[in-house]
Amino acid sequence: MMTLDPLPTSETAKADILIVDDTPDNLRVLSAMLTNRGYEVRKALNGQRAIASVKSEPPDLILLDIKMPEMDGYEVCKQLKTNSQTSAVPIIFISALDDALDKVKAFAAGGVDYVTKPFQEAEVMARIEHQIRIQRLQHQLIQQNEDLLRSNRELEQFAYVVSHDLQQPLQSVTGFVKLLQLKYDSTLDAVAQDYLNRIHETGSRMQRLIQDLLAYAQIDKQEEDLQIIDCNDVLKQVTDNLREAIVTQQAIITHDPLPKVKGNETQLIQLFQNLISNGLKFIPANTIPTIHISVSLQRQTWQIGIQDNGIGILPEHLEKIFEVFQRIHSAQKYPGTGIGLATCKKIVERHHGQIWVESKVGTGTTFFLSLPLCLEANQ
């Protein structure tokens, strides 16, 4: 039994319903019922006319008789559903109570519901209103989705343009500070030197922030050019890039054999590099960083864990570290801009995977990545 509240008149007022039935009496009854409720009603006496009417202007809903000469309701429904121009219009089948209604066939043809003749007005109206409500909500959802996508694109474009335009003036600031230091070194006292150093450091930090932000905004701008990438090569490149920190800290990095995945090489390097450099960075004083990269295959998905023996993360911080600019520690203690993990998340999601973290303060942290198994790569 349906217990829907009637749609408010503002919602029903403009809904446009097409009734298709070869019996004029049925058309009249239904039409009167719907017009009384404020619907706009169109009528068609056979399948051909119905299709032409829907094509010329798709209604909000179709009530479609099953038993009609020449083209029956199932056939009309199939034709409408195979045409992209008309496929989105919901169809409710009408069947006589004494006819054997093939419900499975009705749903398989693309119908969303059915009503039986003779019509029970309350039931017919409830079913119609229910479908119209679904239709409206679907439209709303599509619209909101489009709006969201657009505003997301605009925001990214904004971040890109702003960061790009900020780079040059900032370069001038740090450049002139360097010149001042070089040219007037002997005439400046210690306080002035200190001020200049601070300006230079702050400027450089801002430059890094801008570059990281640019890299973050660019991930979605890059073409989805996915190739088969051997993650062992990616790791090799990353350890080369991080060689200085690895050697100075005498870090131990071990790993299981890494898989081949479908991906973008530069982005995969960015991903592993940030995770490993975090493992090297967030480490207690006088501790040798020990990082292990584990690999397992779980239900067609590679699960890669990057485990460190670092300072760990408190449970209340676990969610927010994946957001842009979210850092738990001061930049003085652990340098960085707080964009690394947000970039990692974007990269993993672009590779149709997920990223999550498990951590225990004082013991260490493991970041997990899931990446789809690439059958092509593992032949």
Question: Which residues form the interface with ligand ATP (CB under 6 A)?
Answer: 212, 274, 278-279, 282, 308, 310-313, 321, 326-329, 336-341, 365
SS3 call for 347: helix
| Binding site partner of 353, from ligand ATP, Mg ion, none, Cβ cut-off 5-8 A by kind | none
Selected range binding Mg ion among 45-53, 206-214, 234-242, 277-285, rule: CB under 5 A: 277-285
Is position 340 an interface residue for Mg ion (rule: CB under 5 A)? Answer: yes
Is position 278 an interface residue for Mg ion (rule: CB under 5 A)? Answer: yes
Least distance in angstroms from the C-beta of 287 to ligand ATP: 12
Q: What gap in Å lies between CA 108 and CA 104, rounded to an integer? A: 6
CB closer to Mg ion, 47 vs 340: 340
Report the length, in residues, of the chain.
Answer: 379
CB closer to ligand ATP, 26 vs 278: 278
Is position 95 an interface residue for Mg ion (rule: CB under 5 A)? Answer: no
Query: Phi and psi for 186 in degrees, rounded to 5?
Result: -75, -25
Judge residue 141's burial from the number of C-beta atoms within 10 Å of its C-beta, 0-12 exposed, 13-18 middle, 19 or more buried: exposed
Q: What angle do CA 358, 362, 366 make, to 5 degrees?
A: 25
Is position 270 an interface residue for Mg ion (rule: CB under 5 A)? Answer: no
CB closer to ligand ATP, 66 vs 271: 271
CB closer to ligand ATP, 77 vs 339: 339
Tell me the site size for Mg ion, rule CB under 5 A. 3
Least distance in angstroms from the C-beta of 336 to Mg ion: 5
Task: Give the residue from 78, 12, 79, 88 showing the smallest Cα distance to 52.
Answer: 79
Least distance in angstroms from the C-beta of 322 to ligand ATP: 7
Is position 310 an interface residue for Mg ion (rule: CB under 5 A)? Answer: no
How far does Cα 43 stand from its chain's mean position?
42
Q: What gap in Å lies between CA 250 and CA 287, rounded to an integer? A: 10
Q: Which amino acid is residue 352, in one-letter code? A: H
H or E element at residue 183: helix 121-183
The residues near 7 (Cβ < 8 Å, ≥ 6 apart) are 129, 132, 133
How far does Cα 187 stand from its chain's mean position?
57
Least distance in angstroms from the C-beta of 299 to Mg ion: 30
CB closer to Mg ion, 270 vs 274: 274
Least distance in angstroms from the C-beta of 277 to ligand ATP: 7
Q: What gap in Å lies between CA 335 and CA 338, rounded to an integer? A: 9
Selected range binding Mg ion among 22-30, 45-53, 251-259, 273-281, rule: CB under 5 A: 273-281
Q: Which residue stretches of 219-374 are H helix?
A: 231-241, 243-249, 265-281, 340-350
CB closer to Mg ion, 298 vs 330: 330
Instruction: Determine the residue with CB nearest ligand ATP.
Output: 340
- Contact residues: Mg ion, CB under 5 A: 274, 278, 340
